[in-house]
Amino acid sequence: MAAKRKPTTSSGNKPAVGNDAPPRDKAALRDVRRRPPAVLRGGNAVSPGVAVGRAYCIRDIFIGDESRPLDDTAALRELDRYDAARERTAADLKAVYKKVLDQLGEQQASIFLAHEAILHDPAFTAKVRTWIVDSKQAAPAALQRLLGEYTDLFAYTTDEFLKERLADIRDVIIRIAGHLNETERSDEAAADEAALEGEPNILIAGELVPSHVFMLGDRDVVGIVTETGGRTSHAAILARSRGIPAVSGVEGVLQKAMSGDIVVVDGREGVVLINPDYETLTAYRKIQREFVHLRDQLTEHCDEPAISACGQKVQLMANISGVADAKAACPMGAAGVGLYRTEYLFLTHPDVPDEEEQYQNYRDAVEASPNRSITIRTLDVGGDKKIAYIGESREANPFMGWRSIRISFEHPQFFLAQIRAVLRAAAPDGRPKDVRLMFPMVTTVEEMRKIRSFVHKAERQLVERKVPYARVPVGLMLEVPAAAVSIDVLLEEADFVSIGSNDLVQYLMAADRDNPKVSALCEPLSPAVLQVLTHVIATCHAAQKPVTLCGEIAAMPRAFVLLFGMGLRSFSMSPAFVPVVKELLRRLTTERADAILKQVLKMRTTAQIIRYMDEQLQEIAPNLAMLGS
């Protein structure tokens, strides 16, 4: 057996989880003892476990309390700060316009000309400067006020053009605010943040977007709470990838919580507690320690192979969003990377990553991945993942509209640049690596053939440029019901299949997974979903084509048992869940999984299946209950 690694905490970083020590600088934090306690129920439990820490609130696009009136001297300083931020924003917009123009063309670049026009609009600037000088408001507060004014103005419009203008105004304000946040903050705000940096933090936001991750720096985030989103939102995926307890869909949490409050996040029950009493806090800290202890125990055995109780080998890989995630997957015992979501490179980039930047990123991800094995998915934007210069057109139903591979086809040079970058990363020194190239949201065999032609063209271009590259397996992410129905035909053109269960489930059930009114329908243990998964896996096996499931259900114990019973032997999941699934697998036999699946496929309702699976899991692995279902 391999040597045991030193256990880590669920934050993946400092051993601050469960730390009962007081803040380093109590005077710098608000006196939370005077604030009433609150218990917020009804949230979505999106990442299991319990965390206790100090609230760190991200309120819309601004951080901290900028609402206090300034004196005359401070107002003049604030005016200079705003002007400087505005100048940096203008420089940003000129640079990004040129880069998008070179890579995507005039139509996509024109959005940044519109943003420049907004930035230089006299009325826009005059309002902000007036509120700073006359109302003695800090620049972020003035920008927040301006955004609120425009939002109210367009609140009831049905005109799509005006709605797009509001989105443009918001983007410009966000850019200016970003530069303001880079400059010196008030002494009190700086003291608050310095004190919070010495504490385990519970990140609280209306919606967590990829750029927030970079705002956090080295902050020790041990829990996440958001007002919107579901199990497959950005916040949920980020939380699970790092093993952080999280609850989403908690309405009004930003009205109840302030930075510095003591917060408990119960990612098992979907409950958030703000400033709980001593007895309650003590009880939750005990549960938190038990949670961390169990996770550490499982991590001790992470180097052991993924083998069932009857000797069946299984490949457990990691879903990642960047190089840091790939590095984190190694100590979790992942066999490789089954899904690299490349869109996060684009979503967090200040403008547009060119081919060289992409190549460097993919090369680093290959080197950092466990066993240097990686499946790279091309750009998957649209729906809930928006980039200002691509896929931003307003649609009545964006999840079923212009997104993913459909966008890539319409920007061939942009698409080819990404493919070339991946092919180069597959052999940076002329020696082929274990790299696979996957394409999202493929619907028809015609699309798969078109993808093949793009890959061949990219190879020819690299040959002409005399740049080292490798031919790689080309596969599809199965997310569309039509593709599931015709999987046998698609397999004639694909080298492998990865099942993207997040989108597949919502499309099968015709229910937006992030809409609280219908998200309950997006249940992976639905009889219809299980029937489709059984068909797809069996068809891939019959065609002798590799099949992996890389949606979030790969790490759900209930679903894992059933997928194992279907014959699936390759899974990709958030790195933090690899040790959990390994432990479950060690207690599972193919005979038992087969028997459970046969019973489940006879059942008619989701509720019946969930009850039955809970009973089975209680017998198979009772100690894993707090780590997710």
Which residue, among 370, 385, 340, has the nearest Cα to 358 in the 3D structure? 340
The CA–CA distances, whole Å, from 473 to 157, 444, 496 equal: 49, 19, 7
- Domain at 251, CATH number: 3.50.30.10
Judge contact between 333 and 578, C-beta under 8 A: yes
CA 577 and chain centroid, separation: 15
- Cα separation, 496 vs 487, whole angstroms: 11
Token pair in block for residue 188:
């009190």
**Structure confidence at residue 274 (pLDDT):** 94
How many CB atoms sit inside 10 A of residue 520's CB? Answer: 12
Say whether both 261 and 331 belong to one domain: no
How many CB atoms sit inside 10 A of residue 311's CB? Answer: 8
Residue 490: give the domain boundaries.
301-627
Say whether both 382 and 444 belong to one domain: yes
Inter-axis angle of helices 557-565 and 606-620, nearest 10: 90
**Structure confidence at residue 285 (pLDDT):** 92
Say whether both 178 and 273 belong to one domain: no
Helix, strand or coil for residue 493? coil
- Is 529 among the domain residues? yes
Say whether both 129 and 235 belong to one domain: no
* Total-model pTM: 0.75
Which residue, among 125, 50, 123, 127, has the nearest Cα to 89 in the 3D structure? 125
Mean pLDDT over each residue of the chain, to the nearest integer:
84
Domain boundary among 293, 321, 349: 293
Judge contact between 173 and 166, C-beta under 8 A: no
- Is 12 among the domain residues? no
Of the residues 302, 522, 540, 550, only one is catalytic, namely 550
Interval 444-473: pLDDT, tens: 999 999 999 999 999 999 999 999 999 999
Judge contact between 613 and 619, C-beta under 8 A: no
**Structure confidence at residue 239 (pLDDT):** 78
- Is 110 among the domain residues? yes
Say whether both 272 and 312 belong to one domain: no
Say whether both 458 and 553 belong to one domain: yes
Domain boundary among 268, 293, 318: 293
- Cα separation, 57 vs 25, whole angstroms: 18
Of the residues 234, 411, 522, 540, only one is catalytic, namely 234
Which residue, among 194, 169, 85, 189, has the nearest Cα to 132 in the 3D structure? 85
Token pair in block for residue 216:
């956090």
349 is annotated as an active-site residue: no
**Structure confidence at residue 153 (pLDDT):** 78
- Is 20 among the domain residues? no
Interval 8-55: pLDDT, tens: 333 333 333 334 434 444 443 444 445 678 899 878 888 888 999 999
The residue ranges of the chain whose pLDDT is under 70 are 1-35, 59-68, 104, 107-108, 155-164, 182-198, 209-218, 232-235, 383-398, 514, 516, 625-629
Say whether both 267 and 126 belong to one domain: no
Q: What is the CA radius of gyration of the chain?
A: 25
Say whether both 597 and 499 belong to one domain: yes
- Domain at 136, CATH number: 1.10.274.10
- Domain at 378, CATH number: 3.20.20.60
* 3-class SS shares of the chain: helix, strand, coil, % to 5: 50, 15, 35
- Cα separation, 109 vs 97, whole angstroms: 5
Please tell me the total count of domains within the chain: 3
What DSSP designation does 555 have? G
234 is annotated as an active-site residue: yes
The DSSP code sequence of 433-471 is -EEEEEESS--SHHHHHHHHHHHHHHHHHHHHHT-----
- Is 8 among the domain residues? no
Judge contact between 142 and 132, C-beta under 8 A: yes
Say whether both 192 and 177 belong to one domain: no
**Structure confidence at residue 618 (pLDDT):** 92
Say whether both 174 and 248 belong to one domain: no
Domain boundary among 135, 164, 182: 182
Which residue, among 117, 111, 112, 171, has the nearest Cα to 147 in the 3D structure? 171
- Is 2 among the domain residues? no
- Is 1 among the domain residues? no
Say whether both 539 and 487 belong to one domain: yes
Say whether both 288 and 311 belong to one domain: no
- Is 396 among the domain residues? yes
**Structure confidence at residue 11 (pLDDT):** 38
**Structure confidence at residue 438 (pLDDT):** 98
